[in-house]
Structure 1
Amino acid sequence: MTSLGSRRWWVLGALVVILLAVSLDLTALNVALPTLAAQLDAGTSALQWIVASYTLVSATLLIPAGLIGDRYGRKKTLLGGLALFLAGSVLATLVSSPAGLITARTLMGVGSAAITPLAMSVLLVVFPPEERPKALAAWTGASFLGLPLGPIIGGWLLDHFWWGSIFFINIPVSAVALVLGLVLIPESRSATAPRPDFAGLLLSTGGLIALVYGTIQEEDYGWSSPGVWGVMTAGAVALVAFVVWTRRVRHPLIDLRLFADRSFTGGLVPATLMTFAMFGVLFVGPQYFQAVLGTGPLGSGVRLLPLIGGLLVASRLSALLVKRLGARVTIAAGGLVMAGAMVAGATTNAGSGYGLAAAWLTVAGLGMGLMLPASMTAAMGALSAERAGVGSAVLMTVRLVGGAFGAAILGSLLSAGYRGHVDVAGLPPAAAEAARGGVGGGLAVAGRLHDPHLLHSARAAFTHGMDLTLLAGAGIMAAAAVLAVILLPRRGATDPLGNGQSTHEYASA
């Protein structure tokens, strides 16, 4: 350890740079969705896949990537992830179709799955215990910094360059991190790491992808189509098989016993539902700003700052409330605050301009900021030190899966609301089908035909679909609040694993 000397901080710099690139990429993409819809002729389903492909692949590979790194070498796996993320970013700047971009995003998701857990593992190996708090603080700061910078940087790039510029920024950052990693990061592995459960990986990944695919395709083909219900049934069967397999295999991909703990599940479920709803807001918000309010990409990114600001402010307050009231009350309060904000958003969007949108986005961010730290405190407080690594990986995985389903399900609801209300009467069949494909298609057809009626109809139809999406999200957050009350033990209950600490005390330690 001491032979690393001051190189440790260069290693940390490389890890922070790549984490910042990953977090910037995730948030910057949201402001690009309207641009992608227009320039790549991408309908709502294509936009859903552009978001969900990255998130779903990253989520399902997160745990096996960590196990592969532990067994075969953390440096090799991390650098392999960096190389894949770099290759995906290069491909994303070169493609000219939604299918090509979905492929690139999938590749980037595979790389991200290796980067996140292995970078943390390398950090813990490189830094001695007395220096880890500083290193972890820098690591956490990079992830938080990506939240406000992503929409702003992404919007500025889209205002000045072509749509692929939001991915081009990843290339020099990833390349620098890759070189620094090759030179500075030492190789390490675990002598006791089990062989990854590849059968469980195939069953879980296949099942989740099938369910997301069916959800997105339902809008185009309907529930009666075998291509929808057949695929979703196959996905459900694969997930049931995954649970059965996991109960029988010696070293499962996920330890299902974690979910039997009320504190762990009571923290995990609200956090996952919050991520579900948040991905829905981030999916529809930038499109509303650009398509309905007429802002540019940079303006759209700036208009998301109230949401992020509310989240950052309330995350500081959350720890104090957990200490005074307990995680149970704090999570439930955050869920109700977020639900109320989304109801307000659904009832004030049409013709209200940005002022009221900024208000409800701020309140929604406050609800998120109250919920997320408290949920993590509750879940992680149920774990012993030996199970903290596995538990945190499961938390991240399930939350990311929730985000993928949020973009898929709420995006499909948005599309259904739009298609059912846009007025295409009198348009040629090809133009009518293009207008029904999404608000971007409707605006493009209206501009091409100089049709102010269609322009107004497309904007009104999108607003209707967004209202449905926000109301559904409000219902989900109200359910999250109720489930937090039902699942979490009352304040003062000790860790069920017998550690004798409250959930807050353990998480704070």
Structure 2
Amino acid sequence: MMIARDNTKLIVCIVYVATMFMVAMDANVLNVALPAIGHDMGTAPSATGTINVGYMVSLAIMLTVAGWLGDRFGTKKIFVLALIVFTTSSVLCGLTADLGTLTLFRIIQGASGGLLTPVAMTILFRTFPPAERTKLSRYLVFPIAIAPALGPIIGGYCVDYLTWRWVFYVNLPIGIVAVLFAYFYLQDYKGQHTGRMDWTGFLLAALGIGGLVYALNSGFSAGWSNVSIIAALIIGAASTTALIVYELRVSSPMLQLRLLQERLFRTMMLISACTAAGLLGMLYVFPLLYQDALGASAFDSGLTTFPEALGLMIASQVVARSYHRFGPRLVITCGLISAAIGYGLLCSVTADTSPWLIRGLLLWCGFCLGHVVSSVQFAIFANIPPASMGGAAALFTVQNRLSSGIGLTLLVCILGALGAAGTGGEAASEPTALGAYHAALLSAAVLLLIACGLAQRIRKADVERTMKPRTKPVDESGAVGAAAGAGVAVQAKRTSP
């Protein structure tokens, strides 16, 4: 089916947003439904945690092989297949009658979700050349900002007014629409030289990344001294180290770690890692502070933290102008410093602080970090050739998943060490709890400042491909005007279908 090039790009954006929204929301929509699932199936609430852990581990493992599968068999084929499996397994999760079957379908859903994220990103960035990627801000940020905020709300509504099974059924209409659009309108792409499947690398990645994700997601509830958690950490760390050494030596690696030799890609990966850790860490710590130390209800906490997502959305509408006018280094630097100051101001919140002031601070933090997140995504793949885009997207997604978990673990350890009650320990006095939460928030701010320091390594020459060329003013002789006209003609030729 032939359609105009601009329409193709629009459809790619629609499919990307629908898919990423579904995957991002599915990662947290289930949390509020776990007690209801346990009650319905006659299982202890603590046992239902395997539903989420199985999902997260299988998702993390499949992230590592998604780039190779897309290049080997075609990005469209893998994307459509993964989308069908994700949607089908979601419906099957809602139809199950026992915890074991639910966990099995949840693992299948996670595996397909692990393929969707990097392959969708690969399709998106192959469709839009570097100079056009600033147009993507409103599409890139939407699923990141809105899905995590809406997930608990949708999950709570389903549990209270429908049934927990609708937590899974809500994916069906979104999945059907995305499958139809992807099947009929997306273009396929296969890599020229993909090589054979790197089974050794895949096994090491499964043990390493799977072990680390399992430990990071289960350590809070099981306890860091638990034998299984310690074993998972040791196996995960050892296997990940072996994976890095092995992948750098083979000629056709599953994870293309050599892409980190490209300076801009490496720098943006590090900035993204610290930013993700600081952002998600804050989103975990502050609701606990508001409820545990200041006595707010869960509903009030959700309403108060929601403006952070709105700030991300507002930033997505204006970041393109800021990016082209000031460049990514200045935009990222100012965004990180401003957000870190916002984190510090959140430490001054008390039970008497107006909720609207808190919402304003969170709106500001979201607005600032929205500039950072979008600028990183604009620039990170600027110097990556199309043939390596699948591998680069897989690396970026794996990094994002691990850095978020590591940052969250760091802040939870700080809370536990300083005696905050919300981490599962004994109840602490209000001053002690406040001090623990303040220390965790300030640690999240430090992560943002580390990212700010890394941003100073961004060079103008590395990001020129993502910047719009500036038009020179016309002089009296008309020579400059002629040159400008020629430049416009060349640019029109480059961007014409």
After superposition, residues 5-404 of structure 1 pair within 5 angstroms as: 5=3, 16=14, 19-20=17-18, 22-24=20-22, 26-27=24-25, 30=28, 33-34=31-32, 36=34, 40=38, 42=45, 54=55, 57-62=58-63, 64-94=65-95, 104-119=105-120, 140=140, 143=143, 146-147=146-147, 150=151, 153-154=154-155, 156-178=157-179, 189-190=190-191, 192-216=193-217, 218-219=219-220, 226-284=227-285, 292-296=295-299, 302-348=303-349, 350=351, 352=353, 354-384=355-385, 386-404=387-405
- Alpha-carbon RMSD across the aligned residues, in angstroms, is 4.6
* Residues 150-209 of structure 1 deviation map (CA, whole Å, 9 limit, x = unaligned): 565455445533344332201233245446666776876455433332321221232123
Letter in 1 for 2:67: G
**Mapped partners of 1:95, 1:466: distance in 2:** 39
2:453 to 449, 474, 482: 482
Letter in 2 for 1:363: W
8 Å Cα contact 2:140-2:374 kept in structure 1: no
**Mapped partners of 1:121, 1:204: distance in 2:** 21
8 Å Cα contact 1:286-1:300 kept in structure 2: yes
**Mapped partners of 1:160, 1:86: distance in 2:** 23
**Mapped partners of 2:458, 2:12: distance in 1:** 41
**Mapped partners of 2:213, 2:128: distance in 1:** 42
**Mapped partners of 2:162, 2:431: distance in 1:** 30
Matched residue SS, 1:251: coil
**Mapped partners of 2:14, 2:75: distance in 1:** 17
8 Å Cα contact 1:152-1:302 kept in structure 2: no
* Residues 441-461 of structure 1 deviation map (CA, whole Å, 9 limit, x = unaligned): x9xxxxxxxxxxx8xx79998
* Structure 1 spans left out of the alignment, 5+ residues: 423-434, 443-453, 496-500
* Structure 2 spans left out of the alignment, 5+ residues: 39-43, 471-494
* Residues 194-236 of structure 1 deviation map (CA, whole Å, 9 limit, x = unaligned): 3332321221232123223334555567666554444322221
**Mapped partners of 1:103, 1:413: distance in 2:** 34
8 Å Cα contact 1:381-1:505 kept in structure 2: no
Matched residue SS, 2:380: helix
Measured at CA, do residues 209 and 193 of structure 1 come closer, stay the same or move farther in structure 2, by a change above 3 Å?
closer
8 Å Cα contact 2:138-2:313 kept in structure 1: no
Instruction: Tell me the TM-score normalised to structure 2 length.
Output: 0.73
In the alignment of these two chains, the number of paired residues is: 461
Instruction: Tell me the TM-score normalised to structure 1 length.
Output: 0.72
* Residues 112-161 of structure 1 deviation map (CA, whole Å, 9 limit, x = unaligned): 22234445666799x899xx999979965874685465565455445533
8 Å Cα contact 1:29-1:166 kept in structure 2: no
Q: CA deviation at 1:387?
A: 4.0
**Mapped partners of 2:381, 2:4: distance in 1:** 32
* Residues 65-98 of structure 1 deviation map (CA, whole Å, 9 limit, x = unaligned): 2322332344542333123312432344356898
**Mapped partners of 1:461, 1:24: distance in 2:** 39
Measured at CA, do residues 62 and 214 of structure 1 come closer, stay the same or move farther in structure 2, by a change above 3 Å?
closer
Matched residue SS, 1:206: helix
* Residues 34-64 of structure 1 deviation map (CA, whole Å, 9 limit, x = unaligned): 5536764656x976x7666545543542352
> Structure 1 vs Structure 2: percent identity of aligned residues?
25
**Mapped partners of 2:162, 2:432: distance in 1:** 30
Q: CA deviation at 1:302?
A: 4.5
8 Å Cα contact 1:74-1:122 kept in structure 2: yes
**Mapped partners of 1:335, 1:293: distance in 2:** 28
Matched residue SS, 1:196: coil
Measured at CA, do residues 474 and 336 of structure 1 come closer, stay the same or move farther in structure 2, by a change above 3 Å?
same
